[in-house]
Chains A and B, each alone.
Chain A
């Protein structure tokens, strides 16, 4: 990359039009001078004009040689670019499976913009996309007259409006939390979705309440003022009695800690409870877990799927490209269309589901060929199991245990 940067510096510094501009100005000056002297003394016209020929020609030659310099510079930079990208061709798009779903891509883009809080861009995009639905792509010579079944955007305006409102709410709550230290909108939301959050095993509602208590306890909006300490504590206590009491069943331990902390109130920072009451990270953590819960309740992942997929794609591309080259060389095609032919290493954070690869057949299990656990606790794919058993008792490939196929239990990974 440095070589390219260097080459470009050279291009920008040396091979630009400024010099040729000077030489054009020279020609102009020559012409203007000649004009002036002829205007002053019409009799010298012949001589002046005769004398003018060569210099003007020369100045044009100078312009041309300046341009040649620019041309050379551009050529050198071209070469540097070629060299840089020689072994990095654009992946072929012959089998672009996405082009036939423009509406689905548009939907993904719209949802991405909304979840990133780009509301104005999103609304411009929705208008654009509704006014000009994506074109299908006809081939030269075979005009494609059948209409595209995915003409509409995939999200009708009503639904996208609902989604927009959801995310607007989310950003409103996050904004209040992060910039105004105001947890009340978040607490209201959590209370309204209390049941759902509880089934998910989320303690968001309690965590919000707890932070609100801590915030009140440490002085609320004006934490520095020591005079109001007792008043603050009073407020916090009232809040706890009113709003935290019903958490006692699930969060008894944390509640005890909170009340225990009251005893240390004059110098909390030296108490064992310091971490609860002086934890700047708590706000950030809670904002993150709020975002996660909020998106999950909508059935969406916390980070934009479009971002994760595009990033994973960039990580995967070199491997896929290598594969493509090898396949072209060997003139083979991979036989299983439903599975990539090569393993693509991704960072651990990009693994979401558990994967089960049958140790016998080396295939990933699917709905049609699910993982089956034998009574000994070892697992193989159903097809492998059937092949091993041939309908009768068989030995586990991993241990001496014998069992029958009907003893095996289907697993859900």
Chain B
């Protein structure tokens, strides 16, 4: 067996490909948190200073002290409001820092594992699988399952339940035909979104416009367009033009381009667009990480034997001397069918391969071991796959190069 075909070397540095979002997300959240603080402070800063000036001026021009006091109270109230908000956000910040810390530590653990064959690697990799599973469940919108798994496995600090649950709620509301939740989300994340030219909000406003037109509220539709759509005419000229044209076409129009605007499928498109925008904003990959890991893994493990018409002589379920191949196991077999199989440049067979009269190839030791285990006479051997019994003299050596 050639040594270079296999490796147990663990290169932690390159092994972290799947783990970028693990650290990115809490950081993006911390940044969002900070932006909210900044916005609030900015607003209060401006308002309080100008209020203070006005009050001082008013006092000079002879306002009574009652009015002065009440405007001071007002300011104090607002500042206390700001403080309350900041305390909440500060707590949030500490939780996020704690998460980041834990996650860096978790990745650090990998650097201390000597090899892929180490038991510790097995443990680490199982935690990773659970993380990937939670990520997958969340992306499917199975928040309850994700929460249950995270709790069961004690990895709550390594996964981001709330972000995804919120994302999924907004997504579902769009699929139900409601723009309210998504617009609120846009408003909340506006400070972060400016830099990425964002189509989502425009499409949402467009949808509102379409709905107004659908209900025959032409006047309102026109007002809505003036307020929200015309400002985007330079960025999305075609769309704005088409929106204007929509006024002339009733919902039952046969003209395809307007018919398409009225289509309910637009809601699904919006939902997809939202999820895409959301994931980009938080540096999340577009697809579940589980997909990425699995498609690489399935191919790396798959062999031509896994979907062969003939039962493989190795790694099948019919004898106790081998363990079942994971690709042949029911869970993954169908899933792996369309994927490419692994590339090999050298044969990889059991030691001392021999062939039985039916053409099946086994390692001599395994064949003899099996025959002893089933209690056969020493002169006989049993094919572990087909259960045929042959005289031991029928075994032939085969030369595999």
Contacts and interface: CB of A to CB of B under 8 A. Distances in A.
B298 A341 contact: no
Contacts of B90: 16-18, 21
B178 interface: no
Interface stretch (B157-165, B210-218, B225-233, B299-307): B299-307
B254 interface: no
Interface stretch (B97-105, B187-195, B244-252): B97-105
A20 B41 contact: yes
Interface in B121-143: 125-126, 128-129, 132-133, 136-137, 140-142
- Residue in B11, B332, B339, B397 with the greatest tally of chain A CB atoms within 10 Å: B332
Nearest to B92: A17
A60 B42 CA distance: 9
A143 B263 contact: yes
B300 A346 contact: yes
Interface residues of A, number: 159
Contacts of B298: 309, 313
A409 B394 CA distance: 14
Contacts of A145: 265
B280 interface: no
Given A17-B93, A353-B303, A412 B129 contact: no
B55 A93 contact: no
Interface in B1-32: 1, 4-8, 11-12, 14-18, 20-21, 23-24, 27, 30-31
Nearest to A397: B401
Given A93-B292, A310-B128, A313-B300, A109 B133 contact: yes
- Residue in B17, B312, B384 with the greatest tally of chain A CB atoms within 10 Å: B17
A406 interface: no
A36 to B, nearest CB: 10
A242 to B, nearest CB: 21
Interface in A351-378: 351-357, 359, 362, 364-367, 373, 376-378
Given A12-B101, A355-B303, A411-B398, A343 B59 contact: no
Interface string A332-357: 00001111111111111111111111
A112 B331 contact: yes
Nearest to A376: B399
A138 B145 contact: no
A81 interface: yes
Contacts of A16: 90, 93-94, 97
A24 B82 CA distance: 8
Nearest to B126: A307
Nearest to B293: A313
B253 interface: no
Contacts of A11: 97
A386 interface: no
Contacts of B68: 38, 42, 45, 49
A121 B345 contact: no
B286 interface: yes
Interface in B338-383: 338-350, 353, 355, 358-361, 370, 373-375, 382
A314 B331 contact: no
B20 A339 contact: no
A293 B335 contact: no
A121 B152 CA distance: 8
B116 to A, nearest CB: 5
Contacts of B141: 128, 132
Given A201-B373, A352-B301, A398-B401, A99 B97 contact: no
Interface in A99-156: 99, 101-102, 104-109, 111-113, 118, 120-121, 124-125, 127-129, 132, 134-135, 137-141, 143-145
What are the nearest 5 A-B pairs in CB distance?
Answer: A313-B297, A305-B326, A42-B65, A143-B265, A250-B375
29 contacts: A2-B108, A8-B97, A8-B100, A17-B89, A28-B80, A38-B65, A67-B38, A67-B41, A74-B27, A93-B286, A97-B295, A102-B140, A121-B149, A125-B142, A129-B140, A143-B268, A201-B321, A305-B332, A308-B326, A309-B297, A339-B342, A340-B340, A342-B343, A349-B117, A352-B325, A354-B349, A366-B308, A367-B304, A377-B398
